Amino acid sequence: MFQLAGSLAAPVVGAFLYRWLHGRSGAVRLFDGFMYVAVPAIVLWQVLLHSWPNHGVLAILVLLLGMGTPNLIERISRSLARHTDNLALLAGFSGLVIHAFLEGVALVSKDTPVSYAVILHRIPVGLMIWWILRPRHGFRGASIGIGTILAATVVGFAIGGRVFADGGGIGLYQAFVGGSLLHAVFHQGRHDHSHDHG
């Protein structure tokens, strides 16, 4: 149960760390720089590397498709441009939810290096969720985002290791939404990220 408790606490720690950093002048730029490194690192480590054994180069192509699709939508219809970032966020967040579910399944194997890696990497995941959702959707939206990740983890842990044992197409889906999430992070950073929200 320690692994489950740690995995649930880690995203909350990340959210509080975000608020602590943004309450101190001079930390914002450093934090944002960290997030621009951490988000691609999480996508590469948690999505692409898991998709590569089953799908190879196709996983990279699908990730690039995920990055490019919101831009394509914006070019097709400028009237929809202000909505595509939210669509990208929704798609990217659905990938995080699925991954949290799968991590919950992985935590059933007790006291393994994988479980400790899950706990460790979920701190920047909590940071990332709060960084993306708080400026755009406020405290309530960011809290719902964190809560959804926690709920998905608990469901995965409860169901255990029998679900999605063969991987199937989940790896490609996560590659697509990983690319979509990268688009949302960098596009938001260029256009509308504000540090006025604590």
Task: Output 29 or 132, whichever has higher pLDDT.
Answer: 132
Mean pLDDT estimate for the chain: 75
Asked if 88 contacts 183 with a C-beta cutoff of 8 angstroms, the reply is: yes
Of 6-20, 25-39, 72-86, 124-138, give the lowest mean pLDDT range.
72-86
pTM: 0.63
Calculate the alpha carbon distances from 58 to 48, 65, 173 in Å.
10, 10, 11
pLDDT score of 67: 82
Q: Can you give the three-state secondary structure of 49-95, one letter per residue?
A: HHHHHHHCHHHHHHHHHHHHHHHHHHHHCHHHHHHHHHHHHHHHHHH
- The position carrying tokens 């990268």 is 182
Q: Which of 24-28, 62-66, 95-99 has the highest mean pLDDT?
A: 62-66
pLDDT score of 191: 46
Task: Output 79 or 134, whichever has higher pLDDT.
Answer: 134
Please name the residues in contact with 175: beta carbons below 8 A apart, sequence gap of 6 or more.
47, 48, 51, 55, 59, 60, 62, 63, 66
Q: Assign 74 a pLDDT band (cuts: 50, 70, 90).
A: low
pLDDT tens-place string over residues 140-196? 999 999 999 999 999 988 887 565 455 556 667 677 767 777 776 676 554 444 444
* Distance separating alpha carbons of residues 19 and 37, to the nearest angstrom: 19
Calculate the alpha carbon distances from 81 to 62, 74, 110, 177, 187 in Å.
22, 5, 46, 18, 11
